Amino acid sequence: MKITDACVYPYPAGDSSVSRLALEARAYGYDSIVAIDTPAAEISGVTVLSGIHLANATAKDVQDRARKAGGSGAVISVQVGDNAFNRAVVGTKAICILRGIHEADRYAFDHVTAKIAADNMTAIDLDLSVLIAGRGRLRQKAIHRFRDLVVLQHRFEFPFTISSSARSVLGLRTVREVAGLCSVIGLDVSDTAQALTGIDRIMRPENAAVKVIP
């Protein structure tokens, strides 16, 4: 299982080139990274997965764009919305990740959405940038949301992913630092290890209906 940072923003969105991010990610213990708006590649022994982030779109737009990008092998993530939007999104086949839960209101992600996410193997992203750079009420709200998600995840077992949302190499955190930060939100070491391999599990599901054997 590959340990993956589920979202980084290379140059020009950030200040670090994708090759530098890959180089640093390898040193920090990652096997792969999801780079937004960047073609897939293998750099310095690190698998760079192409990422597509959909934000400020209606459920219909998301479904249309997901259908178009479905066969590309890209990791498609969608910014969280209200409850109805989230239920529609996590039920869409090609959508891999629902991001930004900490920004949503408390009813945006409930037990029904959690069940749909578990059934469709849609991951919920834990964005650590808000724990790292956030202060005061913003971080308190994020910790509360993440703790609530952990409770739902233990009950419904939908996949988690962990992202640094790094726009710079300074925003990346080592796997050990990630484990420390995740302990703040109630994830133990084994849960964190499972969340770090979340991308690998959703991109290559173990119980797929058809398995290609080379």
Q: Would you say 116 or 130 has its CB closer to another protein?
A: 130
Residues 160 to 189: which contact another protein by CB under 8 A?
168-174, 176-177, 180-181, 183-184
Q: Would you say 69 or 132 has its CB closer to another protein?
A: 132
Q: What are phi and psi of 52, to 5 degrees?
A: -125, 125
Q: Whole-number minimum distance, CB 50 to another protein, in Å?
A: 19
Q: How far is CA 186 from the centre of its chain?
A: 18
- The answer to whether 11 contacts another protein (rule: CB under 8 A) is yes
Residues 6+ apart with CB under 8 A from 20: 169
Residue keyed to tokens 């997901």: 66
Q: Would you say 58 or 183 has its CB closer to another protein?
A: 183
- Near another protein by CB under 8 A: residue from 40, 41, 57, 132: 132
Q: Whole-number minimum distance, CB 207 to another protein, in Å?
A: 35
Mask 84-113, x = binds another protein (CB under 8 A)?
------------------------------
Q: Whole-number minimum distance, CB 77 to another protein, in Å?
A: 23
- The answer to whether 44 contacts another protein (rule: CB under 8 A) is yes
Half-sphere exposure of 75 (CA within 13 A, CB side): 33
- The answer to whether 16 contacts another protein (rule: CB under 8 A) is yes
The C-alpha R_g of the chain, in whole angstroms, comes to 16
Fill in the DSSP letter of residue 176.
H
How many chain residues touch another protein (CB under 8 A)? 29
Residues 6+ apart with CB under 8 A from 61: 54
- The answer to whether 15 contacts another protein (rule: CB under 8 A) is yes
Q: Would you say 84 or 170 has its CB closer to another protein?
A: 170
Q: Whole-number minimum distance, CB 146 to another protein, in Å?
A: 14
Task: Give ∠ CA 29-33-38 in degrees, rounded to 5.
Answer: 150
Cα–Cα separations (whole angstroms), residue 149 to 2, 56, 73, 123, 185: 23, 23, 27, 12, 9
Rounded Cα distance between 30 and 133, Å, is 21
Q: Whole-number minimum distance, CB 167 to another protein, in Å?
A: 10
Rounded Cα distance between 3 and 10, Å, is 19
Q: By the criterion CB under 8 A, which residues form the site for another protein?
A: 11-12, 15-17, 19-20, 23-24, 44, 131-133, 135-136, 139, 168-174, 176-177, 180-181, 183-184
